[in-house]
Amino acid sequence: MATPKITAQQQRKIETILVKWVGKLTWEFLVKKIDLELGLTTTRQTLCTYAGINAEYKKRKAQLRGATPALYTKVTASDVKLVEQIEHLKAELTVLKRNNAEQLRMIERMLSNASSMPNIDFDALIRKRPEELGNL
């Protein structure tokens, strides 16, 4: 048996139910609420075929998750790429910080070892190289 078509008036009532929805939202809960409030027996599949109901469901679901409608509707492929780029840069930054810390420890260790060696001139160790003097 095919499910009956939803009239425009019923569709508006269902969208109103979605706008007022409080708490956890699932298709199953929505179907039960429609049956209780409107006396209309329907299915998730039927509701999904109506663009207005489907869009309102997704919008309300996003709002209940904390995403604003503007944020939900404005996410594009370039936004996804930017998020991926941010994650990549964060990972790269972590690696660079770790390498920097290791290099600083090595320099400190070398200077500490050099201080215990006789006849090492620290001024000669930290003096600028000739190739560095040309860049000034």
Last residue of a domain, which of 47, 74, 101?
Answer: 74
How far apart are alpha carbons 115 and 106 in whole angstroms?
14
Q: What is the pLDDT of residue 127?
A: 83
pLDDT digits (tens, 9 = 90+) for 92-118: 999 999 999 999 999 999 888 888 888
Examine the domain organization and report whether 94 and 70 are in the same domain: no
Examine the domain organization and report whether 99 and 113 are in the same domain: yes
pLDDT digits (tens, 9 = 90+) for 31-64: 999 999 999 999 999 999 998 999 999 988 888 8
Between these two residues, 100 and 72, which has the higher pLDDT value?
A: 100
Examine the domain organization and report whether 25 and 70 are in the same domain: yes
The pLDDT of 65-77, averaged and rounded, is 65
Q: What is the pLDDT of residue 35?
A: 92
Q: What is the pLDDT of residue 1?
A: 45
Has residue 14 been placed in a domain? yes
In the structure encoding, which two tokens stand for residue 131, read together?
């190739």
How far apart are alpha carbons 28 and 11 in whole angstroms?
17
Q: What is the pLDDT of residue 115?
A: 83
Has residue 114 been placed in a domain? yes
